[in-house]
A and B are shown apart, each in its own frame.
Chain A
Amino acid sequence: EPEVTQTPSHQVTQMGQEVILRCVPISNHLYFYWYRQILGQKVEFLVSFYNNEISEKSEIFDDQFSVERPDGSNFTLKIRSTKLEDSAMYFCASSASGGYGYTFGSGTRLTVV
């Protein structure tokens, strides 16, 4: 069964540093998403991406965040200047048909110290 692949699985970074979280969506999917989950809490939407542009973003997705699809396979989330409260599990997801039938990646646990 096709999978969404995320790297790294765990990243520890100093406050104020930039991090890039990487995702390889399922190859024939056209819709891409980032979500985050603070430990013990619900999954929260960050951003959706379609046709090489952001289609929607949440209030969490402020100027410190950016997304990019630099080539035909990768989808990245950049956090420019990390804060302690950015510590969370970040999930990438992709879908072939818009909001239906998401497949989530295994996540990147980001720890900001």
Chain B
Amino acid sequence: GENVEQHPSTLSVQEGDSAVIKCTYSDSASNYFPWYKQELGKRPQLIIDIRSNVGEKKDQRIAVTLNKTAKHFSLHITETQPEDSAVYFCAASTSGFQKLVFGTGTRLLVSP
């Protein structure tokens, strides 16, 4: 089955810096890659997603890149702000009503 690995487990940056979180997946049939932000005690919230027919997607300060050949995808956050501090999870899925397989999470801390 699908296995998703995520790095780093923790990431500390200064406000205004960029942050990059990387994930690799094992199942070449996976074609949907969402990223979730989870604040302490709260639900995972979808922040951006990408399907396998595109290599990059951007939404304001957040971007995701996908390399299907290498089976990895990355989340890029520019101009980080303290409110970006949270745990970020990547996930992978095949089409249809398939499950999401989550990575192990990255705790991002943005210091003022």
Contacting chain B: which of A12-20, A39-47, A64-72, A74-82? Answer: A39-47
Chain A residues touching B, majority SS: strand
> Residues of B within 8 Å of A, CB-based: how many?
25
* A interface residues, tally (CB under 8 Å): 25
Decide: A42 and B104 in contact? CB cutoff 8 A. yes
Give A42 to B101 CA distance when docked, in angstroms. 10
* CB pair A42 B103 closer than 8 Å: yes
Of B61-69, B75-83, B92-100, the segment with at least 4 beta carbons within 8 Å of chain A is: B92-100
Query: What total count of A-B pairs have CB within 8 Å?
Result: 62
Contact across chains for B42 and A106 when beta carbons are under 8 A apart: yes
Q: Are A99 and B46 in contact (CB under 8 A)?
A: no
Point out the residues of chain B lying under 8 angstroms from A35, CB to CB.
100
Most chain-A CB neighbours within 10 Å: which of B51, B101, B103?
A: B101
Residues of A within 8 A of B (CB): 31, 33, 35, 41-45, 48, 50, 55-56, 58, 91, 95, 98-107
* Residues on B facing A (Cβ under 8 Å): 32, 34, 36, 42-46, 49, 51, 89, 91, 93-105
